[in-house]
């Protein structure tokens, strides 16, 4: 069974350099500046905040979601089984 730690794809660390009306500008650890649309953010970011960018194919993401769902379901079922066995 796969663990959640093994599900990470290609990662790149970056820092929020500045914000613009529609975008945030990130400075990657490689020195590159990356323009990221604010509409694609799940949360508000602040200047100098560290972030991690992950690049993966759509198929990799689908497989990862399925694997996470399986792991979580197995954990829930195991907890329920242990709870029933304790009664």
Element (H, E) at 54: strand 50-55
Task: Identify the band that residue 6 occupies on the pLDDT scale cut at 50, 70 and 90.
Answer: low
pTM: 0.62
In Å, how far from its chain's centre is CA 79? 25
Both structure tokens of 9: 């794809």
- Residue that wins the pLDDT comparison between 80 and 25: 25
**12 phi/psi in degrees, rounded to 5:** -140, 120
**Is residue 78 within 8 Å of 85, Cβ to Cβ?**
no
Whether pLDDT at 1 is above 50: no
| Distance in angstroms (rounded) separating the CA atoms of residues 63 and 43 | 25
């Amino acid at each position: 069974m796969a663990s959640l730690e093994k599900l990470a794809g290609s990662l790149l660390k970056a820092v929020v350099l500045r914000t613009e009306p529609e975008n945030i500008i990130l400075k990657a650890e490689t020195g590159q500046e990356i323009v990221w649309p604010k509409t694609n953010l799940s949360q508000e970011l602040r200047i100098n905040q560290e972030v991690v960018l992950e690049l993966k194919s759509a198929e990799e993401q689908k497989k990862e979601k399925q694997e996470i769902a399986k792991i979580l379901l197995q954990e829930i079922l195991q907890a329920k089984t242990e709870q029933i066995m304790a009664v």
